[in-house]
Structure 1
């Protein structure tokens, strides 16, 4: 992941995120909800339409989750989690640039477990970076983020996660509990769930009152949150069939003005 490389999609007419209402009705609805309540869930059908993902596209994209690496920091708390990490910039015109791979650091008043701790994760694979689904997703989220803040360029941080659970213990998607990420827009895209019960996502106001709860159950379901105005957390997962392992795959993407 070298500095200055633009993804294979490059610049496309109509894919920027200049200020104004997004063209797709689902994005307009998402923006209205984020501004008024701070959170919104896009259905898999709406996300697929916005991204141009065909019926089998999510299964193809999901193969990258079999190439994640152990999260040694989560392991210190007993959480079995795999992940990678990538950093991009997104211009107002829709240009996506891969940024240098450095430590991931969350700011003060965000994640209580890892505030201002340098965490070093394996980078996204070249194949992951080149995925058209990822390119389309980043651009779409840029349109949504533009409803929350006016920025010429966005910092985009991409975190594919797999949280695992077996009969002898739960899997903790958010071992830090309810928290903020210290960004503008925080999103969670469900990629897959296998033999997993639980994993309910809850969004709270800054005083801790629950605003909404949802269980992302179908690939392509997307939870959006205004991270400046809300907290979020996910309940543990456990196996439906105790004789088999369970896992939950998500893609967490955040945007902050650069």
Structure 2
């Protein structure tokens, strides 16, 4: 049985079911989130990206990515519960660059992981994805905080593995902040590689939601507008996978 629809969800649910992806600008996305819960700690939530740790698992030797990670479990309703800290794993079928190994990242800080904004985002996605996958009783959810940095002579690669799938059921990519960067265009593709669309996340809460079983996605490299100033792209990625498939 599908969970009831929240106000405004059909604006996402219908195109996501039809096309396998949807892009929503920040203001309407924030309105949907605020209708579903609280974003009362948004300022501290966004500021927590300043405390991300360097990703030391980059097989390309890059030092342009910082991140933190957490795992949650959720049923069709009820609480979304954080799980003991554990590694992130993708097979090489989904990540040709960094797959095939268990990657341990620093955990999302407790006050951020249990804060209002992340809780609202998790429950909002659980409701939306649950309506689109009514057969799923329990979800394995991973939350990733990413900062992609760009410097003079070193572009930042939001998707260094290239156009890809994540090996899950559903994906949310939400922009938190974009500072002094050019490019970072999100591209959506059919499995045969042909393009389905492109857009750029530019404002806080700009978001894309993806049916990972149906479409591929990638993001072009980012470069600093002013090489003398800090340049970065902060995003939250939430992935939802059927607990039956994850176990």
TM-score between both structures, scaled by the size of structure 1: 0.87
Alpha-carbon contact 1:186-1:225 (below 8 Å) kept: yes
Alpha-carbon contact 1:91-1:152 (below 8 Å) kept: yes
Cα offset for 1:110? 1.4
Cα offset for 1:59? 3.5
Cα offset for 1:131? 1.3
Distance 2:117 2:202 in 1: 19
The 1:225–1:244 alpha-carbon spacing in structure 2 relative to 1, beyond 3 Å, is: same
TM-score between both structures, scaled by the size of structure 2: 0.91
Residue-pair matches, total: 240
Cα offset for 1:214? 0.7
Where does residue 186 of structure 1 map in the other structure?
171
Distance 1:44 1:123 in 2: 27
Cα offset for 1:79? 4.3
Alpha-carbon contact 1:94-1:139 (below 8 Å) kept: no
The match for 2:49 among 55, 59, 65 is 65
Where does residue 149 of structure 1 map in the other structure?
133
Deviations 1:112-149 (A, max 9, x none): 22333111111111111121010010011012212331
Distance 1:238 1:108 in 2: 28
Where does residue 251 of structure 1 map in the other structure?
236
List aligned pairs for 1:85-234, cutoff 5 A.
85-107=69-91, 109-150=93-134, 151-234=136-219
Alpha-carbon contact 1:112-1:179 (below 8 Å) kept: no
RMSD across aligned positions (CA): 1.9
SS state at 2:57 partner? helix
Alpha-carbon contact 1:195-1:244 (below 8 Å) kept: yes
Deviations 1:93-114 (A, max 9, x none): 1311111111111145312223
Q: Report which stretch shifted further, 72-81 or 53-62.
A: 53-62
What 5-or-longer segments of structure 1 have no aligned partner? 1-17
What 5-or-longer segments of structure 2 have no aligned partner? none
Cα offset for 1:186? 1.0
Where does residue 30 of structure 2 map in the other structure?
48
Distance 1:94 1:199 in 2: 36
Alpha-carbon contact 1:75-1:81 (below 8 Å) kept: no
Where does residue 22 of structure 1 map in the other structure?
5
Where does residue 19 of structure 2 map in the other structure?
37
Where does residue 80 of structure 1 map in the other structure?
64
Cα offset for 1:54? 8.3
